[in-house]
Amino acid sequence: MGHVDDPAKIWQVNHGLLIASRNEGLPIVLVEAMQAGRMAVVTDVAGNTELVEDGVTGFVAKAPTVELLDDAMERAWQNRGRWREMGVRAKGKVAQIIPENPGRVFSQKLLGLIGETK
């Protein structure tokens, strides 16, 4: 798609996310995909498995190797009829952990610390 100003547009035409990271924190793109109700195929590095449960909200390659990523993608393809269901579960999972508008939550906490509330 190239660059888009609104990440939600990406998920109007894509059914899932593939992250083949060898080293990463918790990628914001994973959060955005799951908030949009999309399943993800990820490697078991950093924070990915805090959100993605293998076979439930997506698929996890146990290590960032070609063979294990290939296996995870094959399992995803074999379960493509469940992607919508997995996306619903992914959306619920990410909502439990990350607020929809974390900036607002953070600013409200800061205002609370200084004694102002809105």
Per-residue pLDDT tens listing for the chain (118 residues)? 688 898 888 999 999 999 999 988 899 999 999 999 999 999 999 899 999 999 999 999 999 999 999 999 999 999 999 999 999 999 999 999 988 788 888 898 888 888 875 5
Cα-only R_g, the chain: 16
| pLDDT at 117 (0 to 100) | 59
Global pTM reads 0.83
Cβ(37)–Cβ(88) under 8 Å? Answer: yes
Cβ(41)–Cβ(76) under 8 Å? Answer: yes
Task: Report in angstroms the alpha-carbon separations of 28 from 48, 74, 114.
Answer: 10, 24, 29
Q: What homologous superfamily does CATH list for 7-113?
A: Glycogen Phosphorylase B; (3.40.50.2000)
